[in-house]
A and B are shown apart, each in its own frame.
Chain A
Amino acid sequence: MSADTRTAQTLRLGAERGWREFRGLLASGNELFSAVVMSLAFVLVVFFQRNETLEDTGISTATAALPGIVAMMLVYNGLVGTATYLTTEREDGTLLRAKALPGGIASYLWGKTVFMLLNTLLSVVLVLVAGLLLFDGVADGLADGGPQMLGMMVLGLAACLPIGAILGTCFDNPRTAIGSLMIPFMGLTVISGVLMPVSWMPDWVQTLVQFTPLYWLGLGMRAAMLPDTMLALEIGGSWRVPETLGVLALWAVAGFALALVLLRRMTRTVNGATLDESRLKAMQRV
């Protein structure tokens, strides 16, 4: 069989897997509910500030925060979500099953990517619809910067999914994964300029956050959706579009390369004995 047909087969089977799992999420009350709550919680937080104006920009605090919330949902899903799914499915035997099939690991990983794309799209759509209904100026922002925002979404996920996969290989089980990742993630959202302008942060924090994809993705989303009157609140008073593209692309490429190596190593160590061990541990905790 040629490599082309094999790739086509992997893409098709992965798409099937991703779609089926996404449909499963929509059909399951619990998971859909938590996706909705997670997406709308932050919208609700800024909802109470919808009548306040951010400094002298003429933009309501809520509207100004919305692009950051979109960026946060992307990073949360791409990073914490991916890591959690990966550790869960290594523990419950999904990955071992994939390993027993010809081309199974490839179709599994592509399937997971498709699933995370759909999953993230759902979160973003929820945030945007809520924003459109509740806040002024969101419709204008989307009309102007919709395509740019879509591009940012794709780039942002490309940057975050590999990091999520890398983190997913670092934890033994989903409970420690989510426990270890949530606190740093929450901390990061506070300092990265997605919930409040990064220019309010001390200088050293501003320097620090410029190493994270979350800051740049948030910046990219604001560049797409907010008017230039908001520039006063950004580092250097500029949207820094080329830098944004460059940093996110760098994260994507480096992350992808490292993720491939680590995933290969991780799948090599998946076997029945490690599965039994983790099953036993999980049972003890339940």
Chain B
Amino acid sequence: MAVQNNLRRPSERPPEAPEREPAVDVRGLRMRYGTHDVLNGVDLRVEQGEVLVLLGPNGAGKTTTVEILEGFRGRSSGEVSVLGVDPDRGNEAWRARLGVVLQSWRDHAKWRVRELLAHFAAHYAPYGTPERPRPRDVDELLETVGLTEQADAKVGSLSGGQRRRMDVAVGIVGRPELLFLDEPTAGFDPVARRDFHALVQRLAGEEGTTILLTTHDLDEAEKLADRILILSGGTIVAGGSPAALAAQLESDAEVRWTHRGERQVTFTPDGTGFARKLFERHGEEIEDLQVRRPGLEEVYLEMVRLHESGRAEEAAGSIPLRRQQ
């Protein structure tokens, strides 16, 4: 994606003010289909201007959560507020403040790229404000997502990568205050992926757009997120900034050793210190010492593995700590 530098807008990202109303506030969100609980009481909060990544294996409930927030589906119970409004009761003016990046398939195949973008853009015109003019300029937007050359091409003739860029353009054409991206880079090649990440960072940095992104890819989450929430088995099992989350999940090292032929194991935040004391006390009686720190990646992969073997609840419980920042 040839990302151009034209997404600036006059107003700066607002300064941090913790008492400000969050962009998204979810409490006790539950979703049940028949007897199957997809979401078991999800709590999450997205601050204004923040990039929050909802990380979790396929089937963890990410898409369901996002679609409830987008107002695309109802919920079984729980309190949900998106830009101060319950999505079940969101009107068109509320809708105009949101951006949704959908994965297109073959809709609007006969429309030309610029034509379609201009048609969608016009829907936002009545909802512009002085500080957030709507919609964006279509030609600038085409340049931003690197589709200038395809402006007059039929949507149906675009390559997969070009089409996804058009999806992103459609999602941000209304200059949203809050942007939802559900698995946005699925099927991207590495270059498209890198360019897409740069675009997300620019939207968040220069425009102060609040972004809620879902992914099952830990690398992507670490790269983009101000904060990561891990969703597993229908609940948030861990959360924090990428660094804090890593530290939090690494905090219990597993120490294994053999003392006089007897195997021992313990979990401690300070594996090295524990090992030192062990040697001080028992000296050469200690054998087979192992100190293992399951990192964020390891914990996450274990969770994915359990998930894929159909043991979602166990996967949720496999996260060593449930503390949330």
In the complex, what distance in Å separates the CA atom of A192 from the CA atom of B262? 92
B63 touching A273 by the CB < 8 A rule?
yes
Knowing A89-B107, A271-B72, A272-B72 are in contact, say whether A101-B95 is a contact too (CB < 8 A). Answer: yes
Query: Could you tell me if A101 and B123 are in contact, using CB atoms closer than 8 angstroms?
Result: yes
CB atoms of B102 and A102 under 8 A apart:
no
User: Beta-carbon contacts of B102-139 to A below 8 Å, as 1s and 0s?
Assistant: 11111110110001000110111111000000000000
Return chain B residues, CB-CB under 8 Å to A237.
none
B127 touching A97, Cβ below 8 Å? no
B63 in contact with A97 (CB, 8 Å): no
Q: How far apart sit A97 and B103, CA to CA, in the bound complex (Å)?
A: 10
On whether A272 and B67 interact (CB within 8 A), knowing A1-B126, A20-B115, A93-B107, the answer reads: yes
The total of chain B residues at the interface (CB under 8 A) is: 34
Does chain B have a CB within 8 A of A151? Answer: no
Segment 169-190 of B: residues with Cβ below 8 Å from A: 170, 174, 182
Q: Does B29 interact with chain A (Cβ within 8 Å)? A: no
> Contact mask B84-109 → A, CB, 8 Å, 1/0?
00000000110110101011111110
A96 to B111, CA, bound (A): 17
Is A97 a contact partner of B95 (Cβ separation < 8 A)?
no
Contact between A104 and B110, CB atoms less than 8 A apart: no
Q: Which residues of A contact B106 (CB under 8 A)?
A: 92-93
Cβ of A261 within 8 Å of any chain B Cβ, yes or no, is no
Known: A5-B126, A13-B119. A97 touches B111 (CB 8 A): no
Whether A16 and B119, one on each chain, are in contact in the complex, defined by CB atoms closer than 8 angstroms, is yes
A34 an interface residue at 8 Å Cβ cutoff? no
Q: How far is the CB of A275 from chain B (nearest CB, A)?
A: 7
Q: Which residues of B contact A5 (CB under 8 A)?
A: 126
Q: Which residues of B contact A28 (CB under 8 A)?
A: 110
29 contacts between A and B (CB under 8 A): A1-B93, A9-B126, A13-B122, A13-B123, A16-B119, A20-B111, A24-B111, A27-B110, A28-B110, A92-B105, A93-B105, A97-B102, A97-B104, A97-B107, A97-B108, A97-B170, A99-B72, A100-B102, A101-B95, A101-B123, A102-B126, A268-B74, A270-B72, A272-B67, A272-B72, A272-B103, A273-B63, A273-B73, A275-B105
